[in-house]
């Protein structure tokens, strides 16, 4: 048993396994983007998953009182206005620290949204 563990606790083995895991995630990411239709992947989830919560919080930060990023009714309304293909009962409320919005998601314009999503 000890030799089994020692063979795997070396830099080369861990590096190969890490690269393999990253490659698998990259393949899943590429498939998700390539097969997305109307904001949904072939896996059934929204493309970007919780990205919408951060993006809408950024819009609220720019266009409303910054403290309103936690206003659930406003967030729900803007989410469905900006992501009209989202299911009616879907809700992604923002529940993170405010500095994420101020630094990363307070960009204006829908053309920026795609670039931010790729970075996400």
- pLDDT tens by residue, 7-33: 778 888 899 999 999 999 999 888 887
Element (H, E) at 112: helix 110-119
The answer to whether the Cα torsion of 93, 97, 103, 104 is positive or negative is negative
State the pLDDT at residue 49. 65
State the pLDDT at residue 24. 96
Is 60 exceeded by the pLDDT of residue 102? Answer: no
Q: Which of 51, 71, 62, 75 is nearest to 107 (CA)?
A: 62
Q: Where are the domains of the chain?
A: 2-34, 51-119
State the pLDDT at residue 106. 56
Is 80 exceeded by the pLDDT of residue 112? Answer: no
Rounded Cα–Cα distance for residues 86 and 81 (Å): 10
pLDDT tens-digit map of 22-76: 999 999 888 887 887 766 777 776 666 677 777 788 888 778 887 787 888 998 8
């Amino acid at each position: 048993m000890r030799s089994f563990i020692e063979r795997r606790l070396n830099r080369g083995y861990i590096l190969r396994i890490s690269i393999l895991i990253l490659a698998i995630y990259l393949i899943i990411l590429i498939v998700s983007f390539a097969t997305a239709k109307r904001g949904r992947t072939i896996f059934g989830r929204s493309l970007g998953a919780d990205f919408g919560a951060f993006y809408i919080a950024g819009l609220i930060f720019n266009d409303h009182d910054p403290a309103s990023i936690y206003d659930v009714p406003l967030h729900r309304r803007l989410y469905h206005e900006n992501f009209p293909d989202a299911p009616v009962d879907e809700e992604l409320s923002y529940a993170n620290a405010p500095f994420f919005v101020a630094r990363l998601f307070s960009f204006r314009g829908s053309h920026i949204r795609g670039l931010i999503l790729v970075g996400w």
